[in-house]
């Protein structure tokens, strides 16, 4: 008998952004897939403080952690893994695709790390752990399968997911968003099309629940149909409004009119300005 629970980091303040002002980094999630005695964690957040709170939260579950599965190579989904891995000697950080491993390694390179440290001064691990390839397409949790699958493009890097058939649960990483502006910075018509195809691929699995990598802490639920449909519409609306906008500001205003309640407006600023650079 499996169950799951979700940890939400909340929005993270970052230094004020020229041309925008007060800014936050999108709220992120980590999902604990629980058996009776053991568990698997999907994604591991960002800062050292988050990692420590995450480790305490896993400990409270009373389960022994077997692995931390990383959905994609973006820093904000695994830099917090250190304290969790440290608390469970038998656990390891894994990815199901070598491209995710390579991207994660790239994000811990000196030059890229300098960029992240400027965003989160004094709050990141000096040497974040990097994943290794899982070597298998499925994990076994007390006799129940957890499928690890490469899906395709999303917010800039290769996206993979964890699918738990027993729970009809997909941990979708950054393929699907829940009530938060989507990271379309430097996206192109082709990359947006690829992202829509990835949403279709997740829908094909017919999940009931989709835990999104970024989720507004006050989102009403994790209903698969709602969040997949919402994400699909957001990308289509961005495409449509981009085509009729003459400036980034106009694109921002048009998207805000459609999504007044979405969290992390800085993301929309980053997405919109990149289209007019
Ligand atoms: Zn992310």
- Choosing among 3.60.15.10, 3.40.50.300, 1.25.40.420, 3.40.50.720, the CATH entry for 3-275 is 3.60.15.10
pLDDT confidence band for 104 (50 / 70 / 90): very high
* Centre of ligand 1 from the C-alpha of residue 173, in Å: 7
Q: Judge whether 269 and 245 are in contact, CB under 8 Å.
A: no
pLDDT of residue 55: 98
Report in angstroms the alpha-carbon separations of 92 from 132, 183, 226.
8, 28, 33
* Centre of ligand 1 from the C-alpha of residue 143, in Å: 30
70-102: buried (b, 16+ CB within 10 Å) or exposed (e) per residue? bbbbbbbbbbbbbbbbebbeebbbbbbbebbbb
pLDDT of residue 65: 98
* Centre of ligand 1 from the C-alpha of residue 198, in Å: 15
pLDDT of residue 77: 98
* Centre of ligand 1 from the C-alpha of residue 74, in Å: 6
CA distance 126 to 45: 15
* Centre of ligand 1 from the C-alpha of residue 204, in Å: 22
pLDDT confidence band for 277 (50 / 70 / 90): confident
One DSSP character per residue, the chain reads --EEEEEE---EEEEEETTTEEEEEPPBEEEEEE-SSEEEEE---SSHHHHHHHHHHHHHHTPEEEEEE-SS--GGGTTTHHHHHHH-TT-EEEESSHHHHHHHHHHTSHHHHHHHHHHSTTTS-SS----EE-SSSEEEETTEEEEEEEEE-SSSS-EEEEEEGGGTEEE-GGGSEESB----TT--HHHHHHHHHHHHHHHHT--SEEE-SEE-TT-S--BHHHHHHHHHHHHHHHHHHHHT-SSHHHHHHHHHHH-TT-B-HHHHHHHHHHHT-
Where do the domains of the chain lie? 3-275
* Centre of ligand 1 from the C-alpha of residue 107, in Å: 13
42-90 pLDDT, tens digit per residue, is 999 999 999 999 999 999 999 999 999 999 999 999 999 999 999 999 9
193-248 pLDDT, tens digit per residue, is 999 999 999 999 999 999 999 999 999 999 999 999 999 999 999 999 999 999 99
Q: State the average pLDDT for the chain.
A: 97
Beta strand pairing status for 169-171 and 159-164?
Answer: antiparallel
Q: What percent of the chain has pLDDT over 90?
A: 97
* Centre of ligand 1 from the C-alpha of residue 10, in Å: 13
């Amino acid at each position: 008998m499996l169950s799951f629970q979700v940890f939400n980091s909340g929005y993270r303040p970052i230094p004020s952004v020229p041309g925008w002002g007060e800014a936050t980094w999108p709220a992120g999630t980590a999902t604990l897939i629980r058996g009776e005695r053991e568990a698997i964690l999907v994604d591991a957040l960002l800062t050292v403080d988050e990692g420590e709170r995450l480790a305490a939260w896993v400990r409270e579950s009373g389960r022994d952690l077997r692995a931390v599965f990383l959905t994609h190579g973006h820093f904000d989904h695994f830099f917090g893994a250190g304290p969790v891995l440290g608390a469970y000697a038998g656990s390891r950080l894994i990815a199901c695709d070598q491209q995710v491993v390579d991207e994660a390694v790239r994000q811990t390179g000196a030059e890229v790390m300098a960029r992240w440290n400027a965003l989160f001064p004094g709050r990141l691990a000096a040497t974040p752990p990097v994943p290794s390839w899982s070597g298998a397409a499925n994990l076994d949790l007390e006799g129940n399968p957890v499928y690890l699958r490469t899906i395709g493009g999303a917010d800039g890097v290769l996206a993979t997911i964890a699918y738990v058939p027993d729970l009809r649960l997909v941990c979708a990483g950054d393929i699907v968003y829940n009530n938060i502006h989507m990271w379309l910075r430097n996206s192109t018509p082709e990359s947006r099309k690829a992202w829509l195809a990835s949403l279709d691929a997740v829908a094909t699995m017919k999940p009931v629940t989709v835990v999104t990598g970024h989720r507004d802490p006050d989102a009403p639920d994790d209903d698969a149909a709602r969040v997949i449909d919402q994400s699909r519409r957001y990308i289509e609306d961005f495409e449509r409004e981009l085509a009729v906008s003459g400036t980034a500001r106009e694109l921002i205003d048009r998207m805000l009119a459609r999504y007044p309640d979405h969290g992390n407006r800085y993301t929309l600023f980053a997405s919109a300005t990149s289209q007019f650079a």
